């Protein structure tokens, strides 16, 4: 392996592989080596072995906790600042949270349309299995209001459930109101909101009694359901 002294690098591709891993090749050498690498699986294995060997040199380097704000900076670099269509970015998290909590959610789908110019009646079912709460949301176009009926379960003491609208046209979740201890809550909707209801998703989050103070869901999202024609 160690040949006689030579003016030029004497040890062949194994040494080149190590120098490649160390970043010590000159530009032409690097280009040449990378063409070799593409067609030589053995050489790629050589590179992998050097990676592992050198990585072991870091064994005695102590861990150091990065500052708290570093993770948000990484997320911002990858996913951009939090802005319009927030709920689209949030939805996988919401769904993940819902699934992780073992909560089933049901989107009631029906193609039976109510005749009439006011548009169809819409309904969504929101089931928070872990909390044992099942809700039904009904929208009757003529009444301009969304009626939320708690079909089973109790709202936790000192907590409230807040209902949110996630729609394609809205940038962020829109609070539709806070559900207190009553079994039936009627929420009046502004015209701009009514137009967004068909196909929109409703979400329930657990909040302080007066609702989220931030304008966004601040507690866990425990149920999701899609508004579909009844």
Interacting residues with other proteins (CB under 8 A): 1-2, 5, 7, 9-11, 14-15, 18-19, 21-24, 44-45, 48, 51-67, 70-71, 73-75, 77-79, 92-93, 96
CA distances from 229 to 99, 109, 121 (A): 25, 7, 6
Report the alpha-carbon distance of residue 149 to residue 139 in Å, rounded: 11
Whether the Cβ atoms of residue 160 and residue 210 lie closer than 8 Å to each other: yes
Nearer to other proteins, 68 or 111 (CB): 68
Q: How far is the CB of 157 from other proteins (least distance, A)?
A: 30
Task: Give the Cβ contact number of residue 132 at 10 Å.
Answer: 10
Any residues with CB less than 8 A from the CB of 203 and at least 6 apart, and which? Answer: 94, 126, 163, 164, 166, 173, 217, 221, 223, 224
Nearer to other proteins, 52 or 84 (CB): 52
Q: How far is the CB of 9 from other proteins (least distance, A)?
A: 6
Size of the chain in residues:
230
Q: How far is the CB of 62 from other proteins (least distance, A)?
A: 5
Whether the Cβ atoms of residue 87 and residue 172 lie closer than 8 Å to each other: yes
Q: What are phi and psi of 147, to 5 degrees?
A: -105, 120
Angle formed by the axes of helices 12-22 and 27-39, to 10°?
110
Q: How far is the CB of 84 from other proteins (least distance, A)?
A: 18
Nearer to other proteins, 135 or 221 (CB): 221
Nearer to other proteins, 49 or 196 (CB): 49
Q: How far is the CB of 22 from other proteins (least distance, A)?
A: 5
Nearer to other proteins, 55 or 84 (CB): 55
Nearer to other proteins, 13 or 172 (CB): 13
Q: How far is the CB of 59 from other proteins (least distance, A)?
A: 4
């Amino acid at each position: 392996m160690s040949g006689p002294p030579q003016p030029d690098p004497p040890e062949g591709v194994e040494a080149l592989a190590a120098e490649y891993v160390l970043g010590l090749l000159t530009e032409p050498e690097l280009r040449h080596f990378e063409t070799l690498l593409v067609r030589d699986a053995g050489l790629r294995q050589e590179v992998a072995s050097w990676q592992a060997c050198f990585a072991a040199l870091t064994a005695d380097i102590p861990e150091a906790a990065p500052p708290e704000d570093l993770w948000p900076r990484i997320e911002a670099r990858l996913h951009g600042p939090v802005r319009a269509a927030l709920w689209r970015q949030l939805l996988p998290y919401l769904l993940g949270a819902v699934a992780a909590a073992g909560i089933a959610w049901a989107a009631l789908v029906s193609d039976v349309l109510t005749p009439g110019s006011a548009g169809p009646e819409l309904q969504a079912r929101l089931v928070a299995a872990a909390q044992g709460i099942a809700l039904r949301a009904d929208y009757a176009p003529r009444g301009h209001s969304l009626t939320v009926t708690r079909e089973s379960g109790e709202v936790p003491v000192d907590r409230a459930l807040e209902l949110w609208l996630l729609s394609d046209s809205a940038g962020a979740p829109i609070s539709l109101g806070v559900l207190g201890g009553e079994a039936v809550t009627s929420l009046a909707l502004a015209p701009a909101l009514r137009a967004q209801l068909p196909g929109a998703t409703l979400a329930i989050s657990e909040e302080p009694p007066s609702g989220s103070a931030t304008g966004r869901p601040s507690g866990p999202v425990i149920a999701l359901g899609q508004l579909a024609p009844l």
